[in-house]
């Protein structure tokens, strides 16, 4: 098949392109390089069947494809808050453009949604039938509300135009090729630990997250894309939940670092708890994460060590 991956030069997108090429598909990676980089996909450029297009999904594009993975959107709070208007345009206008393309060429389209659609959740762990608790006015809203509208657009194109859709709600994912400067907790803590700097815990570190290794996530995306008679939404994430303070201590232990923990103010609207209920993914996709957190973190630590040594 010919597969379009928007955001294909980003963290998750680059691993997905790699996986799809291995399966023998033709892959078109489309990216505006806002948070992605050519270095993430440089090893794929010579692969038979790989094409790279510099394009912004807020503008229409016409391509003949069978599948569209719509991943284009900055994912870390620092990056999506850098230009919030652009972030919401990417989720709204970008998703309309990709749905228009899917409708025109009769491609199946999968939307990368997020656990952020649950906001600061009052249901724990989060199940797909929970409608969420999201602030429409806050600094995270450009991302959260953009992704919620993207889900609505998917459903409306499906009901109104019969577009073949899939919605996945991705929970915190980590691994090699996370951007060094994206301010997310995994990259921040590992880099701080490796450099012997203080580890910056926001708030008291009592808030929780559940971290999924990127290879597990990509397996879930591919399974969902090909699952018969199932449009989702489906949660994809690792239910192994940890407080941010415990996570800081784990990173210090795994890196053998002498770093100390320092406390910084908690950003506005930071969700207090997050854990995916993956019962639906287990049932409909026969999917669950395989990589235990220590193993995934060691691979990520090795990656960031090599980034530091490369200067
Ligand atoms: P990322 O920032 O590494 O990748 C996003 C990619 O999209 C980048 O390559 C960026 O350059 C590109 N992009 C951004 N705006 C674009 C535009 N207007 N046109 C074309 N390309 C554009 O982030 P990621 O972690 O790989 O996330 C990929 C997707 O998964 C995103 O949609 C994100 O919202 C979703 N997601 C990620 C996580 C996570 O923990 N990583 C969690 C939930 C959802
Ligand atoms: N966080 C932290 N220190 C950092 C970066 C993040 O304590 O240096 C916290 C952040 O406040 C949040 C959690 O770690 O509670 C996860 O943050 P991240 O930005 O990785 O993802 P998200 O909040 O989008 O889940």
Closest-approaching ligand to the CA atom of 54:
1
Closest-approaching ligand to the CA atom of 140:
2
pLDDT tens per residue across all 311 residues of the chain: 999 999 999 999 999 999 999 999 999 999 999 999 999 999 999 999 999 999 999 999 999 999 999 999 999 999 999 999 999 999 999 999 999 999 999 999 999 999 999 999 999 999 999 999 999 999 999 999 999 999 999 999 999 999 999 999 999 999 999 999 999 999 999 999 999 999 999 999 999 999 999 999 999 999 999 999 999 999 999 999 999 999 999 999 999 999 999 999 999 999 999 999 999 999 999 999 999 999 999 999 999 999 999 98
Distance 155 CA to ligand 2 centre (A): 30
> For atom 25 of ligand 2, which residue has the closest CA?
172
258-284: b or e for each residue (b if 16 or more CB lie within 10 Å)?
ebeeeeeebeebebebbbbbbebbeeb
> For atom 3 of ligand 2, which residue has the closest CA?
201
pLDDT at 311: 81
Do you know the residue count of the chain? 311
Please indicate whether residue 143 is annotated as part of the active site.
yes
CB atoms within 10 A of CB 87: 24
What is the distance between the alpha carbons of residues 148 and 118, in angstroms, rounded to a whole number? 9
> For atom 1 of ligand 2, which residue has the closest CA?
185
Distance 58 CA to ligand 2 centre (A): 28
Contact 57, 97 (CB under 8 A): yes
What is the distance between the alpha carbons of residues 207 and 72, in angstroms, rounded to a whole number? 27
Distance 8 CA to ligand 2 centre (A): 24
pLDDT at 297: 98
Distance 10 CA to ligand 1 centre (A): 6
Q: Which residues line the pocket of ligand 1, CB cutoff 6 A?
A: 6-7, 9-13, 31-36, 56-58, 71-75, 90, 94, 112, 114, 170, 172-173, 179
Contact 40, 47 (CB under 8 A): no
pLDDT at 257: 98
- Which of 209, 210, 211 maximizes ligand 2 atoms within 8 Å of its Cβ, making it the mutation to test the pocket? 209
What is the distance between the alpha carbons of residues 196 and 32, in angstroms, rounded to a whole number? 34
Q: Which of 143, 174, 263, 303 is catalytic?
A: 143
Distance 172 CA to ligand 2 centre (A): 10
User: pTM of the entire structure?
Assistant: 0.98
CB atoms within 10 A of CB 50: 20
């Amino acid at each position: 098949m010919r597969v379009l991956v928007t955001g294909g030069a980003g963290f998750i997108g680059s691993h997905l392109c790699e996986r799809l090429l291995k399966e023998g598909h033709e892959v078109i990676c489309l990216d505006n390089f806002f948070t992605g980089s050519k270095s993430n996909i440089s090893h794929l450029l010579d692969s038979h069947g790989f094409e790279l297009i510099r394009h912004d999904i807020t503008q229409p594009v016409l391509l003949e494809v069978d599948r569209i993975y719509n991943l284009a959107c900055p994912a870390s709070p620092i990056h999506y808050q850098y230009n919030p208007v652009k972030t919401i345009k990417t989720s709204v206008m970008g998703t309309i453009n990709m749905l228009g393309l899917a409708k025109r060429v009769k491609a199946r389209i999968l939307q990368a949604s997020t656990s952020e659609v649950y906001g600061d959740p009052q249901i724990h762990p989060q199940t797909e039938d929970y409608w969420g608790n999201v602030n429409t006015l806050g600094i995270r809203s450009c991302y959260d509300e953009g992704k919620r509208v993207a889900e609505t657009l998917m459903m409306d194109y499906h009901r109104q135009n019969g577009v073949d859709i899939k919605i996945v709600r991705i929970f915190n994912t980590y691994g090699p090729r996370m951007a060094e400067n994206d301010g997310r907790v995994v990259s921040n803590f590992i880099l701080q630990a490796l450099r012997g700097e203080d580890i910056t815990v926001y708030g008291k570190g009592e808030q929780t997250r559940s971290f999924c290794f990127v290879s597990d996530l990509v397996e879930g995306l591919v399974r969902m894309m090909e699952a018969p008679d199932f449009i989702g939404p489906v949660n994809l994430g690792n239910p192994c939940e940890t407080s941010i303070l415990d996570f800081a201590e784990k990173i210090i232990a795994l890196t053998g670092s002498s770093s100390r923990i320092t406390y910084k103010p908690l950003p506005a609207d930071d969700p207090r708890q997050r854990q995916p209920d993956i019962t639906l993914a287990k049932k409909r996709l026969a999917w669950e994460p395989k990589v235990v957190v220590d193993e995934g973190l060691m691979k990520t630590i090795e990656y960031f060590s090599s980034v530091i040594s490369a200067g």
